Amino acid sequence: MSPLHIVAFTRDGAALASRLARELGGEAWASAKYAGDGVSPLTVPVSEWARERFVSGNSLIFISACGIAVRAIAPLVKSKQSDPAVVCLDDQGRFVISLLSGHLGGANDLARRVAALTGGTAVVTTATDVHEQLAVDEWAKKHGCAIENIGAVKHVSSAVLDGEKVGVAVTEQTMPSPWPATLWLRPRNLVLGVGCKRGTTAADIKAALDDFLRGAGVSPLSLCALASIDLKKDEAGLVGLAQDLGVPYVTYSAAELADTPGHFTPSERVLSVTGVDNVCERAAVRCSGGVLLRSKTLYPGITLALARKAISE
């Protein structure tokens, strides 16, 4: 769950916000006259408060009328994939409404957690939950998968509710669609190992990466990390590429890479410069804990390797 922010507008609401912040590990705000006891004073319009937190991906709880919450977030709503969880409840905690991003954002689960604390009723209106059917987007989130074609989620959910067969492919491999309407879920299980010359741009590395992944026959959505040697921990091109891809950038010392078990492509030149005979393959395997999927591949000033995470029991 992303960072949690709670806002209230009544005395009872402020007390409830304080309690929820303690129990759920969030931060609470309320109208200035009700602030205190761990509740910060709300010093800006609620629309501004919401905008600052919504765009940063924070989960929001409004202890208020639904209208207040809806008006505050309405200009901010963009897409099912990016909107954060928004929950609204009355200041007695009787009804806890999953208002936005029930599955991918986690609002349904958050509403249930809040209701369990207040003794209230979680109001969840997503059809798959109401009919106690599998919600494929929620399943994807819980199992660490990226959704490639979000528009197909509606088709799959509708088919499930109608008792029809559906086509869902869970794989990092790129291939023709096996069914007329296929939902592609990409498990985040691939680590890219990278070596590059100093000053190589993120755009150049990205161009090499695109070609490399096409050659490997895998989706870029399955990347879960970039890995390299700590000599490159501040390399702007690698840092920028990781940010663009939305994955962590992890680096290891030469000793850690040298200690990584496996068979790797050695290079005397790389050894003389870095202190270890291979960076990209060793970094990919070290970070993934798995095995090489594609070995060292050379591009101008860039070396790339790909490893797949080990399957956990």
Residue-wise pLDDT for 294-311, tens only, equals 999 999 999 999 999 986
**Residue written as tokens 């096996």?**
178
| CATH number of 190-308, picked from 3.30.420.180, 3.30.70.580, 3.80.10.10, 3.40.50.10470 | 3.30.420.180
Quick check: 313 pLDDT over 50?
no
Decide: 174 and 184 in contact? Cβ < 8 Å: no
Quick check: 39 pLDDT over 90?
yes
**Residue written as tokens 């970094």?**
283
CATH 3.30.420.180 positions along the chain are 190-308
Quick check: 246 pLDDT over 80?
yes
Decide: 247 and 224 in contact? Cβ < 8 Å: yes
For domain 4-125, the question of CATH label 3.40.50.11220 is answered with yes
pLDDT at res. 141? 77
Region 228-252: mean pLDDT is: 95
> What distance in Å separates the CA atoms of residue 35 and residue 21, rounded to the nearest whole number?
13
Region 71-88: mean pLDDT is: 87
Q: Which of 22-36, 53-67, 74-88, 183-197 has the lowest mean pLDDT?
A: 74-88
- List the one residue out of 226, 296, 282 whose CA is nearest residue 254: 282
Residue 45: which pLDDT band, with cuts at 50, 70 and 90? Answer: very high
Give how far the C-alpha of residue 235 lies from the chain's centroid of Cα atoms, to the nearest Å: 24
Decide: 305 and 296 in contact? Cβ < 8 Å: yes
Decide: 39 and 16 in contact? Cβ < 8 Å: no
Quick check: 130 pLDDT over 80?
no
Region 189-217: mean pLDDT is: 95
Quick check: 115 pLDDT over 60?
yes
Q: What are phi and psi of 261, to 5 degrees?
A: -75, 150
H/E stretch holding 299 reads strand 291-299
